[in-house]
């Protein structure tokens, strides 16, 4: 068995796989036009996963890491689902289009190790008894404010094993990843709200038909996960 990959980031050693031991994850999922998503991808290495009717999936996530090999930090994820061009849907995985965080160590580690599009930004979270609200600010401008229900009895298992696709040093890569934890699923409704700001990323989300009610919202109060070694395609 080969030794685990090791990286030195800001004087600290990071070994793969990176483990997430405790986090919360509030997310909402929309069906959006695959052709519009394709225009946002950086090149033609990947194509959006068509889940039917020319639609693909978009997820906006608010992740609050409490115990993680990369530290305790807040993160906002903008995720599409894609597969490498020339392959079928069986090769589908997540493509993280934007991944703002609020600390520099995880930003540098994510960019260096996997090619995640992390940047250090202002992220505000507001927890109420029945909901969490996250607001992302970039370059002094509000990108969006997302409110997702929280609490309630878990109705699903959020355990998944798959891949996430990135560009590392300009080349497409895949990284094996896992997530786990009990999930509370909420159908679309007034408890979920998305308010877009005046930043270019907000305009990109408008090009996908947002804001509109999502298909699903998910609350994972005790998320765990791993991120493995990236592999060049």
* pLDDT attached to residue 227: 97
Average confidence score pLDDT of the chain: 95
Residue bearing tokens 């540098």: 108
Yes or no: say if 100 and 138 are a contact pair by the CB < 8 Å rule: yes
User: Which tokens is 114 given?
Assistant: 């996997």
Give the start-end residues of each E strand in the chain. 6-9, 12-15, 18-33, 46-48, 55-68, 73-84, 93-101, 118-120, 122-127, 131-138, 141-149, 156-157, 160-168, 171-180, 182-187, 193-196, 216-227, 231-232
Architecture of domain 20-228: Beta Barrel (2.40)
Tell me the chain's radius of gyration from C-alpha atoms. 17
* Residue pLDDT, tens place only, 7-24: 999 999 999 999 999 999
Q: Does residue 188 carry a pLDDT above 60? A: no
* Residue pLDDT, tens place only, 110-163: 999 999 999 999 999 999 989 999 999 999 999 999 999 998 888 888 788 999
* Residue pLDDT, tens place only, 16-68: 999 999 999 999 999 999 999 999 999 999 999 999 999 999 999 999 999 99
């Amino acid at each position: 068995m080969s030794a685990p990959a090791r990286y030195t980031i800001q004087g600290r050693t990071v070994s793969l796989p990176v483990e997430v031991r405790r986090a919360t994850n509030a997310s909402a999922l929309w069906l959006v036009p695959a052709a519009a998503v394709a225009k946002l991808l950086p090149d033609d290495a990947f194509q959006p996963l068509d889940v039917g009717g020319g639609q693909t999936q978009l997820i906006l996530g608010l992740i609050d890491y409490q115990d993680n090999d990369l530290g305790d930090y807040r993160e906002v994820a903008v995720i599409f689902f894609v597969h490498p061009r020339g392959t079928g849907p069986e090769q589908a995985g997540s493509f993280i289009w934007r991944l703002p965080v609020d600390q520099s160590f995880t930003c540098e580690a994510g960019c260096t190790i996997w090619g995640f599009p992390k940047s250090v930004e202002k992220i505000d979270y507001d927890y109420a008894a029945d909901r969490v609200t996250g607001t992302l600010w970039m370059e002094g401008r509000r990108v969006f404010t997302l409110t997702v229900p929280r609490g309630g009895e878990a109705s699903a298992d959020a355990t998944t094993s798959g891949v996430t696709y990135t560009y590392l040093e300009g080349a497409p890569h895949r990284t094996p990843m896992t997530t786990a934890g009990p999930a509370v699923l909420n159908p679309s409704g007034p408890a979920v709200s998305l308010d877009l700001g005046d930043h270019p990323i907000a305009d990109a989300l408008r090009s996908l038909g947002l804001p509109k009610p999502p298909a699903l919202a998910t609350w994972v109060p005790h998320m765990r996960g791993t991120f493995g070694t990236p592999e060049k395609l």
